[in-house]
């Protein structure tokens, strides 16, 4: 019987948490006696997602890298040191640390270096974030999602994106099976499966800009489409009306993809990978902060003619009213000719690499 403890670090948003959960599931399939523990923060979405999947979550202080000069820059190194020491207490005794980027990953990587514990990282984005750029320096194994990153990071392994099992399952269903899911999901939303359905979400915490545009679009005209709209976990839920179903969070995103004609969303790496696998056309609105990784992710889908990208500042109710019917027409043309992306067993591959790298 093994007593190996494996730490998975990646929190804040579903984009970091879902890939980590997919790998944890594969690890326990390989060895049910493995102890997979997650590191996160008190405020991240991991507090809802990780325990619900049956994995323990340990929290450390959130230390965000300041993006502009302010007094917080002076305090940041001390906050990071404190977070590293907390991580050391959690990670001690682990066989390997698997990191997926985000606030918690940097502290976990540095703690692993102090304890001489092997590090495996997965970089999901076309433009890597600072935590994984740091982790790469010390990592025993580096895995990536994009070929462009693999070419820059010599020695890295292009595994693709670890995806949830339900996403992979949706991608393998027949047209008849997908049509039945659409009918059932539309019924749950109070919408008609015989009219176009637009699924809108702005990430787990929602998007103020996207929510505002949808609200203005709905109030300014008689709209010809139906909208299922996830406004964000902590945002006030709008009032439902004919043709409009609001919810705080899509807990079963696979069924959302199956039911929607088109998706309006941000272009996080996980979302883009899911859209490619399920062959769903999208209007992508890259988050206008960070290091430009969401725009780079969107470019990958744009190159395959499976998405339209529009800047955050250009996405307005007027733009939506003018373009949405043409975009739906594009989605039907794309869906009819789309080639299914070859499903990589990414989560399993990363799990194997982590076990091989473990002490």
Per-residue pLDDT reduced to its tens digit, 128-147: 988 999 999 999 999 999 88
Dump pLDDT digits (tens) for 39-76. 998 888 888 889 999 999 999 987 766 556 566 677 76
Q: What angle do CA 341, 204, 61 make, to 5 degrees?
A: 115
CA-CA distance, 325 to 221, in Å (whole number)? 14
Compute the CA torsion angle 168, 172, 176, 177 (nearest 10 deg).
-40
Where do the domains of the chain lie? 5-160+344-357, 165-337
Structure tokens at 18: 């879902």
Q: Assign domain 165-337 to its CATH architecture.
A: 3-Layer(aba) Sandwich (3.40)
pLDDT at residue 339 above 70?
Answer: no
pLDDT of res. 283: 98
DSSP symbol at 116:
T
203: left (phi over 0), alpha (psi -120 to 50) or beta: left
Characterize the bridge pairing of strands 197-201 and 157-158. unpaired
Same fold for the domain at 5-160+344-357 and the one at 165-337? yes
For residue 197, the Cα-to-chain-centroid distance in whole angstroms is 22
| Cα distances (Å, whole numbers) of residue 73 to 54, 101, 128, 300, 352 | 37, 20, 21, 34, 39
Structure tokens at 122: 């997965």
As a whole number, mean pLDDT of residues 98-124 equals 94
Structure tokens at 139: 């990592």
The mean predicted confidence, pLDDT, of the chain is 89
Q: What angle do CA 56, 62, 66 make, to 5 degrees?
A: 150
For residue 336, the Cα-to-chain-centroid distance in whole angstroms is 26
Q: What angle do CA 117, 119, 121 make, to 5 degrees?
A: 165
Dump pLDDT digits (tens) for 194-204. 999 999 999 77
Query: Which residue in this structure is represented by tokens 């998405």?
Result: 307
For residue 17, the Cα-to-chain-centroid distance in whole angstroms is 7
Dump pLDDT digits (tens) for 153-168. 999 999 999 988 889 8
CATH of domain 5-160+344-357: 3.40.50.2000
């Amino acid at each position: 019987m093994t007593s190996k403890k494996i730490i998975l670090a990646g929190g804040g948003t579903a984009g970091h948490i879902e890939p980590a959960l997919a790998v944890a599931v594969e690890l326990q399939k390989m060895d049910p006696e493995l102890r997979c523990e997650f590191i996160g923060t008190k405020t991240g979405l991991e507090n809802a997602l990780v325990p619900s999947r049956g994995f323990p979550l340990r929290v450390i202080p959130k230390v965000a890298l300041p993006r502009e000069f302010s007094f917080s820059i002076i305090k940041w190194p001390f906050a990071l040191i404190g977070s590293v020491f907390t991580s050391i207490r959690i990670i001690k005794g682990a066989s390997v640390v698997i990191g997926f980027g985000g606030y918690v990953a940097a502290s976990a990587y540095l703690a692993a270096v102090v304890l001489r514990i092997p590090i495996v990282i997965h970089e999901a984005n076309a433009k890597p974030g600072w935590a994984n750029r740091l982790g790469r320096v010390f990592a025993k194994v580096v895995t990536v999602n994009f070929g462009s990153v693999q070419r820059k990071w010599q020695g890295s392994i292009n595994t693709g994106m670890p995806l949830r099992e339900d996403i992979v399952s949706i991608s393998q269903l027949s047209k008849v099976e997908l049509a039945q899911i659409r009918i059932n999901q539309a019924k749950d939303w109070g919408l008609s499966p015989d009219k176009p359905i637009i699924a809108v979400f702005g990430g787990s915490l929602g998007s103020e800009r996207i929510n505002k545009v949808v609200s203005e679009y709905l109030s300014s005209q008689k709209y010809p489409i139906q909208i299922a709209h996830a406004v964000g976990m902590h945002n006030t839920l709008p009032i439902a009306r004919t043709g409009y179903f609001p919810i705080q969070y899509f807990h079963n995103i696979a069924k959302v993809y199956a039911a929607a004609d088109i998706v309006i969303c941000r272009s996080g790496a996980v979302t883009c990978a899911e859209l490619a696998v399920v062959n769903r056309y999208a209007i992508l609105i890259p988050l206008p902060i960070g290091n430009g990784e969401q725009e780079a992710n969107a470019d990958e889908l744009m190159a395959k003619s499976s998405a339209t990208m529009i800047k955050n500042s250009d996405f307005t109710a007027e733009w939506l009213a003018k373009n949405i019917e043409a975009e739906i027409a594009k989605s039907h043309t794309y869906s009819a000719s789309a080639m299914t992306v070859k499903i990589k067993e990414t989560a399993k591959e990363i799990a194997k690499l982590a076990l091989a790298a473990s002490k």
